[in-house]
Structure 1
Amino acid sequence: MTPDVAVVGTGPNGLAAAVTMARAGLRVELYEAAETIGGGLRGEACFDSDVRHDVCSAVHPMAAASPFFREFQLPERGVELLNPPVAYAHPLDDGRAGLAYGDLDTTCEVLGKDGPAWRRLMAPLLEHSAGLVEFFMSGQRSVPRDLLAPLLLAARLPAHGTRLGARTGSPGSRLLGGFTEEVAPALLTGVAAHAVGKLPSLASASVAMLLGHLAHGTGWPLPRGGSERIAEVMADDIRAHGGTFHTSARVTDLRQFEGVRAVLLDTTPTQLLEMAGEQLPAGYARHLRRYHYGPGAAKADFLVSGPIPWTNPEVGRAGTVHLGGTRATVARQETLTVRGETTDEPFVLLVDPAVTDPGRAREGKRPVWAYAHVPNGDPRDPVELLRTRIEKYAPGFSDTVLAARGIPAGEYEKYNANYVGGDIGAGAMTLYQSVARPVPYLDPHRTPLPGVFLCSASTPPGPGVHGMSGYLAARSALRHRFGVRKAPSLSPARA
């Protein structure tokens, strides 16, 4: 029997799209090229059968804040989101460290002289957090209910998103109270680097404001047991509503879905071009070919014998650690990476999951997750690069390593075709592509092909495990293909 809906790709957005369509009463089938579902949510026992590693994503501030997941109610479905005492940390070369606690007051206290400036930056965003999240997660295509939220954001961007304003003590930054020391600017720049692009920039500053304030709100949690738990409960809900999964089922031609009323693609523009061939109108195809991919992630998984021996012990309480030094150093490294220049001191993100979820450690063995920002397509094996970067801030780390494996940026695409050249954001997060991804259309999820929709992170609102790209694409498909304007309930009470 021909399904009503076909979803290609089972990352968080493909799953969110399928959840939404299945709950609308439609017959949904999902197609996944890999042997297991989940995309960036997959887990694997890399070295020891008792120790699971997060293959891609590990920490989920957007899963805790996303409107989709808040209605889907992960905790009520058995996914426990665990917040560490320190959301993220940023050690410096001299042993000092920036520490973003879940509690804003504590963070301001430990930042000392820069504590008041941090409070002036974050407190108003926290007061309007729901509106700010709604603004970002809507794809900026509707009038926000809290009009003050985007105004608060806009007021902060010049001081933190331009080269002049990003200088510590500059006139632009003094308008917001200004940072006067090194630790707080480095702490904020580490968050801005999650945009994986040139620093400073307005796009990276927007990311810093969003993720930075969430650390003191809904947090930067890790799911107990690993990221795969999120994919598991989403798949359970899809099956409960009649959905079917096909794994090891790579789709190469959209014509295989002839007769299917809606096809939702959790893929990048590159895969859409390949699957559609000459079916796409020439103008639209040109837009897709111009879509730009960003720097790559070079990932390493370590199996270690104990907690990381940080020079500053308080860093060991953090769920996420940023390694890169001062604000100026991080900005220089990230800009070189965007230019395609390799260095031996890239910006690194690291997670020791057992800090937050002790159950991830088994019999003296625990996983460590780390990746470096490198030029797109970089072929280098990152294990030694990452080990050396960690060792700089945690002398003795190498002695704890029992096993390691690396995934070069140039090979990450083999794991997930959406990671073109290792770009785990499925497209560069420039200011333009933040809102016009992959095309400058009012409804960017809808393609010119009848019934075909894009639902990946290559569409608004962009990267992150939030499910909103899939949800927004599904809402568009429901309106245009099935005449359904009211969103179906996502609550487990309606399962």
Structure 2
Amino acid sequence: MTSAVVVGSGPNGLAAALTLAAEGIEVTVLERAATIGGGTRSGEATLPGLLHDECSSAHPLALDTPFSRRFDLAGAGLRFASAPIEHAHPLDGGRGAAALRSAADTATSLGPDAGAWRRLFGTLDARFPRIAEDFLRPMLHVPAHPILLARFGAYAALPATAIARRFATDEGRALWAGLAAHAFRPLNAPFSSAIGVALGTAAHTYGWPVAVGGSRSITDASARLLRQHGGRIETGVEVTSLDELGGYDVVLLDTSPRAAAGILGDRAPHRVARAYRRFRHGTAAFQVALAVQDGVPWTFEPARRSATLHLGGTFEEVARSEQETWQGRMPERPFVLLSQQYLADPSRSQGSVHPIDAYAHVPHGFTGDATEAILGQIERFAPGTRERIVALAIRTTTQISTLNPNYVGGDITTGANLGRQLVLRPRAALDPYTTGVPGVYLCSAATPPGAGAHGMCGYNAALSALRRLG
């Protein structure tokens, strides 16, 4: 029987393992940590019974993919739920903007910016499933829907600042800023709109749901199906060299490119090893988990009904803080992504005490403490929050990268979203999953289509391996 080993058990490693096992391959997953899941782990970070997601919290790109359509994750126990509002962006003085499931309803709520929002997202949302078929694959391929992909690409290639100029109000620009900031890069850079356009369109197509029971439910469902197909998972096993793996026919590495270069050693062609070692990591995250009595008292009322909030003020403020972070300076008011998953999944709370997960964008490898900066941004838009906090836990960039070595320097996106690297990650190749070593593939979020709990990096890498196995 053909055998395979997958190094790493994040959503991509498990997706790769499941895809191979479903084809009758004998698969073993090796995980260095005591628990599997990578960026889809959940736990009681603050108080017993209060469930926090350790990294990935909302999953707009995980609902309808080739991987999710092929495997019955719902039958394995995975359920998604959504809050009444998909994402919100508070502003000073109780103002703000919120994205509803409907692009038309969102546009109407933006008043003078209704037309601009409708022209941007209303023309893409109905077509998004077909567009996603192409952008969830490597960039260098023959597109299945070239005209739709070209329309999407026309927006995606623009700097986020260019799209912001289409909006007349602070509210419209701010709602766009929160989406664009997910790129973890300056908003005046080319292609800095790509991730924002994708996430904004996904909100109006699928919503921004959370996994019921925590993001670990994604891990649990994938692992359950893998075992049903005969796959095995071993934890507490760190792999540093191919020599440690024995005689497997296929090896998939759910690791950073730098770690992959170390594992491949002298077997890797010089050009591949050099590309992996030069792979650039970007802006980092600093995380804070809160237990809050009665929830956060946002002055912008729709924020009280949204599972995902973007805190950063106006578009100009967000753009300035993202620029400073990229340049290695810690901003006084960083961009903060805050999750209130309990609004969609009440099982995460304990009575009137609710879990809140937040992270700030901070410089790569930041060694300071961003706790007060994060709390300051929350208090700015929800005065009185501090008095409601009954427990708090932090995770620094060093702790983030120690718990998950793929997140080098605290970079939870596994690679800077630079223009060339965004298109040709992790290296320039017709098949970006191959490593130049026969039978060995890279399947982490450093490969297309990039970060997220969608599992498509692993799924695509496994298909690449299956093609070569015939």
Unaligned 5+ runs, structure 1:
169-177, 484-495
Measured against aligned partners, the alpha-carbon deviations of 1:276-333 in whole angstroms (never above 9, x if no partner) come to 2222222221111211000101011111112110011211111110001111111111
The secondary structure found in structure 2 opposite 1:368 is strand
Distance 1:29 1:381, change over 3 A: same
Partner residue of 1:358? 346
Counterpart code for 1:161? P
Give the superposition deviation at 1:474: 0.4
The secondary structure found in structure 1 opposite 2:34 is coil
Corresponding residue to 1:457 among 420, 429, 445: 445
Counterpart code for 2:383? P
Measure the CA separation in 1 of the matches of 2:60 and 2:133.
Answer: 14
Measure the CA separation in 2 of the matches of 1:62 and 1:200.
Answer: 25
CA contact (8 A) 2:306 2:343 kept: yes
Counterpart code for 2:146? L
Partner residue of 1:323? 311
Partner residue of 2:122? 123
Partner residue of 1:106? 105
The secondary structure found in structure 2 opposite 1:62 is coil
Partner residue of 1:195? 183
Corresponding residue to 1:222 among 172, 190, 210: 210
Deviates more, 1:19-28 or 1:352-361: 352-361
Partner residue of 2:37? 38
Counterpart code for 1:146? H
Counterpart code for 1:382? A
Counterpart code for 1:252? T
Distance 1:153 1:202, change over 3 A: farther
Partner residue of 2:461? 473
Alignment of 1:263-412 (within 5 A): 263-412=251-400
Counterpart code for 2:271? G
Measure the CA separation in 2 of the matches of 1:167 and 1:453.
Answer: 39
CA contact (8 A) 2:47 2:391 kept: no
Q: CA RMSD in A?
A: 1.5
Measured against aligned partners, the alpha-carbon deviations of 1:130-181 in whole angstroms (never above 9, x if no partner) come to 12111210122322222222121133246x5165x3453xxxxxxxxx3211
Give the superposition deviation at 1:195: 0.8
The secondary structure found in structure 2 opposite 1:367 is strand
CA contact (8 A) 1:166 1:200 kept: no
Measured against aligned partners, the alpha-carbon deviations of 1:218-241 in whole angstroms (never above 9, x if no partner) come to 111001111000100100011111
Alignment of 1:118-267 (within 5 A): 118-157=117-156, 160-161=158-159, 163=161, 165-166=162-163, 168=165, 178-267=166-255
Counterpart code for 2:246? E
Counterpart code for 1:32? E
Measure the CA separation in 2 of the matches of 1:463 and 1:271.
Answer: 17
Give the superposition deviation at 1:106: 1.8
The secondary structure found in structure 1 opposite 2:224 is helix
Partner residue of 1:173? none
Alignment of 1:53-92 (within 5 A): 53-92=52-91
Give the superposition deviation at 1:457: 0.4
| Corresponding residue pairs, total | 470
The secondary structure found in structure 1 opposite 2:276 is helix
Measured against aligned partners, the alpha-carbon deviations of 1:60-99 in whole angstroms (never above 9, x if no partner) come to 0111133212332433333221122111001112321110
Counterpart code for 2:273? A
CA contact (8 A) 1:382 1:406 kept: no
The secondary structure found in structure 2 opposite 1:76 is coil
Unaligned 5+ runs, structure 2:
none
Measured against aligned partners, the alpha-carbon deviations of 1:420-472 in whole angstroms (never above 9, x if no partner) come to 00000110011211121111000010111121100000111111111111011
Q: Tell me the percent identity.
A: 40
The secondary structure found in structure 2 opposite 1:61 is coil
Give the superposition deviation at 1:368: 0.5
TM-score by length of 1: 0.92
Measure the CA separation in 1 of the matches of 2:212 and 2:262.
Answer: 38
CA contact (8 A) 2:76 2:225 kept: no
Distance 1:470 1:167, change over 3 A: closer
Deviates more, 1:205-214 or 1:377-386: 377-386
Counterpart code for 2:107? C
Counterpart code for 2:400? Y
